[in-house]
Amino acid sequence: MKAKNGVDWSEWGFEVYGYTPEYQGIRMRVKRKFEENVSCKDSYMKWERLLRFDKKEESDKEAVLCEEWKDYKTFLKWYDENTYQLDGEKVSVSYRILNPDNHYISPETCVIIPQSVTRMYLGRGYGERVYNQKLALETIENKYKDKIPKAVYDRIMQSAEKEGAE
């Protein structure tokens, strides 16, 4: 069955009862047909959070989600290619770790990083941002260097050099 936004929901095992024209993912009014509940997947919850930023329901009112990620399947592909597990630690999709002044959410601006590092790096609850960026970089070098993907580590370090955080 196709929804009014053109998405074929049957391949995801859902029956559509409503529509949200600007987002092409599984949204609110769907009924699960199969045992797998997509809305409980970590990737879906992270995608939904990015949608909340785009709809100005989260703290960053300037955030804009790229068009390609308004489709859950496109985000899921990127997420599956970039996600990794850390011993019991939660990871998050961060669009501001490479540039704290960034408000554009896209595959080029996002990385998957431990939540504790994201909070520290952006200075949430830790005081002055520049000090915490340095502390976060030290934490990444000492604790996460060999645990996070090398490409993510390199992007963060290169970004820090450009920003002058080191």
**Two tokens, residue 29:** 């009014």
What span, in angstroms and rounded, lies between the C-alpha atoms of 46 and 86?
Answer: 17
What span, in angstroms and rounded, lies between the C-alpha atoms of 4 and 17?
Answer: 10
How high is the pLDDT of residue 141? 83
- Of 33, 148, 12, nearest in space to 83 by CA: 148
How high is the pLDDT of residue 66? 94
Averaged pLDDT in 10-residue chunks for the chain of 166 residues:
59 57 48 58 90 85 92 92 87 86 92 82 54 73 84 78 58
How high is the pLDDT of residue 105? 95
How high is the pLDDT of residue 146? 85
How high is the pLDDT of residue 126? 42
| Residue 46 contacts residue 93 (beta carbons within 8 Å) | yes
The predicted model scores a pTM of 0.68
Q: Using DSSP bridges, classify how beta strands 111-114 and 91-94 pair: parallel, antiparallel or unpaired.
A: antiparallel
SS3 for 81? helix
**Two tokens, residue 26:** 């599984």
